[in-house]
Amino acid sequence: MIPPVHGNAPRDPHASDPLVGHRLGQFEVLERTGRESSGLLYKARHSRLQHRFVTLKVADAGASPAEPSAQPLEREAQLIHLIHHRSVVEVHDVAESAGTQYLVMDLLEGRRLGEIASEGTLDPKLVLRHAHRIAEALAAIHSSGVVHGNLNSASVFVTADEDIKITDFSTSTLLKDAPAPADNASVYRIHRETARVDIEAFGALLRELLGRTSAPPSDRLRTSLQHLADACLSQQALTSPSNGAELVKLVESLVRLHAAKHRSSRWKVSIIAAAAAASATLLAVAVWHVVPSGAAQRSPYEAVRGKTSAGCAADGRMTLKASAYMPTPSSSILRFYVSRSDEAPWPDPGQLRLFVGEGPTCSEKPPNLTKMLVDVAVGNSVQVIDLDVSQYDGKWSPGEEKTFWVGLSERGFAAYRASGPIFIQRGGAKP
C-alpha cells in the first residue's frame, strides 16, 4: 500500500527531508528513494491522476554541475531525450516549482546493480544477461551521439522483473564526431568525449561483477566474460571494441556460444581440451569456435581448429595457458588468449612472444620463429595477442596445420615460461 502524504502513516526514514509530504508542481512527494551524482530521487504521485506514480529527480544543492553555464537537470534531460531504448530511463518532463527544478522520470521499482552485487554471489549466466542488456543500451546511446560518461554499478538499475535501466546521465556528453542537435544549443556547447570512456567503464563494471560470481575460475563462461572485460580495458586497437555497436557483437557471440550448449542443432561448437603430459594433469585450456549452421564461409581462415597440451617452466612451477580463435567469420585476425596456469592476475611486467615452429621449449634459444611480441598488461588475468594471418596468404595451404605457442620472457630468456602447443588448421579442403 502506498503511504498517504498526510496522516498517521509510519514514520518515513526521510521524514526530515523538506520535500517529503509536500508538492512539486502537480506531484505529491511521497518518499526519498535514492541519490544520483547530481540529484536526489523521490517517489511521487500525480495529484489528480492518483494512480500515476513517477520518480522525481531534484538537483542536489551540494553537487557541482558539469557545465556551470547550463542548468544541469535540463542538460541531462536534453541528452536523454536524444536516446530511445527500452534499457535507458525515460524522462517525461523537466519543470520548476517554487524555484526548485526537477525531472519527471519513469518510476523504477527494483534496486541498483551495485546493491545486488554486494549482497551475495552472482550466477555467471545472470552476469551475461545483464552484460548483454547494458551493451545494447550503450549501442543505442552511442548511435544517438551521446556518451554516458558515468557507467558503473550505481547507474545501472535492475527492475523487479530483472530488466535493466541505465540511469544518471548527469555527466554525459556528446560524441566527438556527433552532429550538433539542431534545437539543443546548450547540449552542443558541452565538452565532447569518445565512446571508449563507456567501453572501459563497461569492462570495469564487468570485472566488478565477476568478482562476485559464484563460479570457480575454471568455469568456461566466467573465463569468457573475463576475456571480454580485459578486452574492453585493453588499449590495443585490434583487441578492444571502440563503441557500443562493436561491444554488442562481442557480447552476442558469447550469448550464442552459451546457448549452443543447449541448442546444438542450430550451433556447432568445438571445445577441445587436451591432457597434460605423463602425469595426466589436465591443463584446462579450451579453444572455442562457433559457426552458424549452414553459414557460408567468407574467409579461408574461418574454420580454425585448435589442440592444446601442457606447457613448461624453467623453474618447474607456474606455466602458461593459451587458446585461439577467429573473432569474426570475416576477420583475418587470429586472436590468442593467454593466462597463467593459476588463473591469477599478472603481477609483473614482461614480454609475451608468439612463436610458430616446432613447439614449446623453455630453453634460452627456442628453435622457432617469433611472430608477435607484446608487453604484459600488469593486473589483467588474461593477455591478448592478435595475429593478422593474411600475411600467410600463399604460404598457408587449405588443410595445412601450423604449431603456435606463447612464451613469457621474465629474466632475459627467450621463453622462461611457455604454453602448450596450439595446432591451428587453415579451413578448406587439402589440395
115: in domain: yes
Phi, psi of 226 (to 5 degrees): -65, -40
Retrieve residue 178's grid coordinates: 556527433
The model's pTM: 0.59
**Do residue 176 and residue 200 come from a single domain?**
yes
Are 310 and 316 a contacting pair, CB within 8 Å?
no
Stronger pLDDT, 293 or 349, i.e. the higher one:
349
15: in domain: no
Domain boundary among 67, 83, 106: 106
pLDDT of amino acid 237: 54
**Do residue 326 and residue 412 come from a single domain?**
yes
234: in domain: yes
Q: Is 9 exposed, middle or buried (0-12, 13-18, 19+ CB in 10 A)?
A: middle
5: in domain: no
Tell me the average pLDDT across 169-198: 67
**Do residue 184 and residue 312 come from a single domain?**
no
Q: 36-50, 55-69, 216-230, 262-276 — which is least confidently predicted?
A: 262-276
H/E stretch holding 388 reads: strand 383-388
pLDDT tier, 112 (very low <50, low <70, confident <90, very high otherwise): very high
Are 210 and 232 a contacting pair, CB within 8 Å?
no
Strand order across the 164-166 sheet: 110-112, 156-159, 164-166
Domain containing residue 31: CATH number? 3.30.200.20
- Give the rounded percent of residues in the chain with a pLDDT score beyond 70: 72
Q: Which of 50-64, 72-86, 366-380, 401-415 has the highest mean pLDDT?
A: 72-86
pLDDT of amino acid 393: 65
Tell me the average pLDDT across 191-209: 87
189: in domain: yes
How many structural domains compose the chain? Answer: 3
Supply the mean pLDDT for the chain.
75
Stronger pLDDT, 14 or 373, i.e. the higher one:
373
**Do residue 340 and residue 204 come from a single domain?**
no
172: in domain: yes
pLDDT, tens digit, 9 for 90 and up, residues 32-77:
988 887 789 999 998 777 678 999 999 876 554 444 434 778 889 8
Show the domain range for 290: 265-425
pLDDT of amino acid 158: 94
pLDDT of amino acid 367: 74
Tell me the average pLDDT across 339-360: 83
Give the residue from 147, 134, 152 showing the smallest Cα distance to 195.
Answer: 147
Give the residue from 103, 122, 117, 303 showing the smallest Cα distance to 214.
Answer: 122
Stronger pLDDT, 265 or 337, i.e. the higher one:
337
- CB count in 10 Å sphere of residue 254: 19
**Do residue 418 and residue 275 come from a single domain?**
yes
**Do residue 227 and residue 356 come from a single domain?**
no
Say whether pLDDT at 242 is over 90: no
